[in-house]
Amino acid sequence: MPSVVNSSLLPESLRDDFPILHQTVHGERPLVFLDSAASSQRPQQVIDAVSRVYEHDYANVHRGIHVLSERSTDAYEAARTKVQKFIGAKYDHECIFTGGTTASINAVARSWGDANIKAGDEILLNPMEHHSNLVPWFQLAERTGAVIKHIPLTDDGRLDLSQLDDVLTEKTKVVAVTHVSNTLGTVNPIAELARRAHAVGAVILVDAAQSAPHLAIDVLALDVDFLAFSGHKMCGPSGIGVLYGKESLLSAMPPFMGGGSMIGNVALDSFTPAGLPSKFEAGTPPIAQAAGLGAAIDYLSEIGLDKVAAHEHALVERAYAGLSEIEGIKILGPSPEHRAGLVSFVLHQPHAHDIAQLVDQRGIAVRAGHHCTQPLHDSLGITASTRASFYLYNTPAEVDALVEAIQEVATMFKPTGRKRRPQ
């Protein structure tokens, strides 16, 4: 493959910020980490921010009138303001800290869903969703008697908007859709979906687990009602995520968890909830993780999400071109122009798990399985695929190493044309 000098690529020197990447595995194989869609790595700046909290500032937030509690509270709330700016929200109290994308979506399905959905109402999903954006809605439908509908997909793995009018009607109360598919890589047209959802009086929830780390997001420009994402996929710590909701919606929603911090007042047999955002942050929150998420946002913002997206686009184009040349490969999802920085594929042989194991022996970390998109895999007639996902620290040389390794595996398992003896 030609060594292209591509101006959209980020400088390789930023890898120096990520200590974990500088290691060899299985003997002397340099680690090639292509599994960031599952969970990314963190720069030293984020690791330091978390350590700083534990070394100097840690105490519970919002509770103590002592210096450490004040410092912790300031760091925690400063992180909220960073999140607000990162996604372009109007108010910082529209940004609720949760445990992650899954927790955020469950919170909406429980709190907004139970208060607003009744038997016969329709919930509009689609087959490319992660289980985290399916199961909470199935559970809501079970509780309420609501009906699940799906936007069909095109053959190349995009939402088939030509059929949207058939499934998005006055009965639709919520459209729940991923911004970027974690299996197909498809980037969905969120602004258009929001406009169409609002036109029938529905709200839209966007699963931004695979977009917030990679693309600049502006919730006001997109006009989404809810947005969910996770810290651990965007250079931040695990155990923290965000639920953004429009103030008008969050204010009207009941708290989905009861306990400390979320109350205004408690009597022997009743309580009044606190205002936003505390109403939705019962118990001790992820304090050091919030500081880490704030540092991750600083890190990504300093580089610029547009540059991150361009870098990943260059990598995914290279991967797509290289992998497409391999005999017997099937790449899932659309052409690079419609996708973000990941590529999933199947070979005639071997199974995805064997591919992942074989390339791991060469130091290359990829994902194998259904990636929590079992209905999508079912609809494609496969049980598993292999996924390589790229982030700001990956290089063209790593993409080439992947292509070379997959080529070797495909050659090893090339059908010989000889009939196998029955076992």
Total number of residues binding ligand PLP (CB under 6 A)?
14
- What is the Cα–Cα distance from 94 to 80, expressed in whole angstroms? 9
- Contact segment (CB under 6 A) with ligand PLP among 204-212, 250-258, 298-306, 345-353 equals 204-212
Contact 283, 260 (CB under 8 A): yes
Residues 55-94 as x/- pattern, contact with ligand PLP by CB under 6 A: ----------------------------------------
Orientation of helix 287-303 relative to helix 305-324, angle to 10°? 80
209 scored as a contact of ligand PLP (CB under 6 A): yes
Which of the stretches 127-135, 347-355, 390-398, 405-413 binds ligand PLP when contact is defined by CB under 6 A?
Answer: 127-135
Given candidates 210, 278, 385, 386, which one binds ligand PLP under the rule CB under 6 A?
A: 210
- Of 192-200, 207-215, 313-321, 327-335, which segment contacts ligand PLP by CB under 6 A? 207-215
Helix, strand, coil share (%) of the chain residues, nearest 5: 45, 15, 40
Nearer to ligand PLP, 35 or 317 (CB): 35
For residue 349, give both structure tokens. 């042989």
When asked if residue 111 is in the footprint of ligand PLP (CB under 6 A), the reply is no
**Residue 341 near ligand PLP by CB under 6 A:** no
Q: Catalytic site residue 95?
A: no
Regarding 106 and contact with ligand PLP (CB under 6 A), the answer is no
Binding residue (CB under 6 A) for ligand PLP from 178, 186, 188, 289: 178
Query: Does residue 101 bind ligand PLP (CB under 6 A)?
Result: yes
Query: Are the CB atoms for 43 and 18 separated by under 8 Å?
Result: yes
The answer to whether 340 touches 316, Cβ cutoff 8 Å, is yes
**Residue 100 sits in the site that holds ligand PLP (CB under 6 A):** yes
Which residues lie closer than 8 Å to 42 by C-beta, 6 or more apart? 18, 20, 235, 236, 237, 292, 296
Residue from 230, 289, 389, 394 binding ligand PLP (CB under 6 A): 230
Pick from 102, 111, 172, 385 the residue near ligand PLP by CB under 6 A.
102
Report, in Å, the least distance between residue 55 CB and ligand PLP.
27
Contacts from 406-410 at CB under 8 Å and sequence distance 24+?
Answer: 406/323, 406/326, 406/329, 406/345, 406/347, 406/355, 406/359, 407/325, 407/326, 409/347, 409/350, 409/355, 409/358, 409/359, 410/326, 410/327, 410/328, 410/329, 410/347
- Catalytic site residue from 31, 47, 135, 372: 372
Give the sheet arrangement for strand 329-332, strand by strand. Answer: 329-332, 342-347, 385-389, 367-369
Q: Which residues are catalytic?
A: 372
Contacts with ligand PLP by CB under 6 A lie at 38, 100-102, 130, 132-133, 178, 182, 207, 209-210, 230, 372
